[in-house]
A and B are shown apart, each in its own frame.
Chain A
């Protein structure tokens, strides 16, 4: 899967570390569970559409919904965006 766009998200507080990552395909259950290699994953499969949240200590957390083409990343520091892209996406 490939990131097609990164959108800055405005937030009620400082949203400079929040990005919406857009992908060229839907986020699958297999991909979500592969995230366990990178941090602590919580997966809620009983919601109308399953929700997941991955926390990578002191660096960032991501959240999203299975089947969406996007996920949202909350960065402690902008430099961790590349960490995420290189370690998780590529």
Chain B
């Protein structure tokens, strides 16, 4: 199989991820947050918090909260900071993990939402966000990079032009964490949510919320923390306030080794390799007028993603043939981001999205291009 669906879930993972997960689950369970750990074991929770803080230039490791993924992290903030009458600004590029919790609160009459339009590449003009700010604007939720077009937003141009810092910024970094360098402190945002199973090379069911000091959303869940068990209320210190329940330590182990792999390999070097694959795809398909790229603009900052449709052919048929005839795994459809497609002209069926990994080979890219040319020419 040729796997080109890393925007959804990265595969393969670095060998160190596989090896250390196995090593961890084969040993006696040791949880430093519960029992103080077994002599000789590793406190993966603390180590992973530290490496995530290091990777994203977060001042204190305790600002890093482990979650079950980006969806939980985003929900934690959305449901933890908004009150009746608040106004929220978000964008057409958002994933349903943002749109659905916001629309649910809107439906209940709790909040009002302004959805800022993007252009045909998925770029949001920062001034269009600033122009939507009202007296009751409480939160801006913005995708760092679209999971459809890969277009990276200019976050500093938003945060630097806010009229006041009572308006909080929640960044969905699901596509950018582990994919491009991110300096949480310099971005001047309040919250950053991301998942582990995409470009952080970790397991599904892992993720983080990074909270800027001074912010304190209500927790999404309360319960056991393994410490201060005499208290009948949730301990209020970070990160315990947000981490009720048994932690997903196996997932956290994968997050540690995923992060370590990225730091050791060099995130810029990894991105260069992935972008080279996209350049080759463009080069090997651009002479075929039946293959129609969507949302690609080499003059703006975009992640290593190639979206396309094939003229007069269902995107579902193309991805089905890729997978079943050619053993190439790609993703077709709306990619859980329904609003952006109206700007891309792909609202009927969506697109076919190709997202290579640092482990993808040049031969695999050549094979994909040969396959898609054959499909486009035949159908």
Contacts between the two chains (Cβ within 8 Å), count: 42
Determine whether B379 belongs to the interface, using a CB cutoff of 8 Å to chain A.
yes
Tell me the nearest residue of chain B to A74, going by C-beta.
B316
Q: A47-B326, A47-B374 are in contact. Are A12 and B320 (CB under 8 A)?
A: no
In the bound complex, residues from chain B placing their C-beta under 8 Å from that of A11 are 316, 333
In chain B, positions 311-359 with a C-beta closer than 8 Å to chain A are 316-317, 320-321, 324-327, 332-336, 350
- B interface residues, tally (CB under 8 Å): 19
**In the complex, A47 Cα to B15 Cα: how many Å?**
34
**In the complex, A11 Cα to B350 Cα: how many Å?**
12
In the bound complex, residues from chain A placing their C-beta under 8 Å from that of B332 are 12
In the bound complex, residues from chain B placing their C-beta under 8 Å from that of A48 are 325-327, 371
In the bound complex, residues from chain A placing their C-beta under 8 Å from that of B316 are 11
Contact of A12 among B321, B324, B350, B378 (CB under 8 A): B350
B325 touches A49 (CB 8 A): yes
In chain A, positions 6-28 with a C-beta closer than 8 Å to chain B are 11-13
Q: A11-B333, A12-B333, A65-B325 are in contact. Are A47 and B320 (CB under 8 A)?
A: no
In the bound complex, residues from chain A placing their C-beta under 8 Å from that of B374 are 46-47
B317 touches A46 (CB 8 A): no
- Most chain A CB neighbours (cut-off 10 Å) among B324, B332, B334, B374: B324
Tell me the nearest residue of chain A to B331, going by C-beta.
A12
- Most chain A CB neighbours (cut-off 10 Å) among B325, B332, B336, B350: B325
**In the complex, A46 Cα to B375 Cα: how many Å?**
9
- A interface residues, tally (CB under 8 Å): 16
- Distance (Å) between the CB of B294 and the closest chain A CB? 15
A47 touches B317 (CB 8 A): no
| Chain A to chain B: the 4 pairs with minimum beta-carbon distance, closest first | A12-B333, A65-B324, A47-B325, A49-B325
B334 touches A47 (CB 8 A): no
Q: List 7 A-B contacts (CB under 8 A).
A: A11-B316, A12-B334, A12-B335, A47-B378, A48-B327, A51-B321, A63-B320
In the bound complex, residues from chain A placing their C-beta under 8 Å from that of B325 are 47-51, 65
In the bound complex, residues from chain B placing their C-beta under 8 Å from that of A53 are 317
Determine whether A44 belongs to the interface, using a CB cutoff of 8 Å to chain B.
yes
A47 touches B321 (CB 8 A): yes
- Distance (Å) between the CB of B338 and the closest chain A CB? 9
In the bound complex, residues from chain B placing their C-beta under 8 Å from that of A63 are 317, 320
A44 touches B379 (CB 8 A): yes
Q: A44-B379, A63-B317 are in contact. Are A49 and B334 (CB under 8 A)?
A: no
In the bound complex, residues from chain A placing their C-beta under 8 Å from that of B335 are 12
Determine whether A68 belongs to the interface, using a CB cutoff of 8 Å to chain B.
yes
- Distance (Å) between the CB of B229 and the closest chain A CB? 41
- Distance (Å) between the CB of A18 and the closest chain B CB? 9
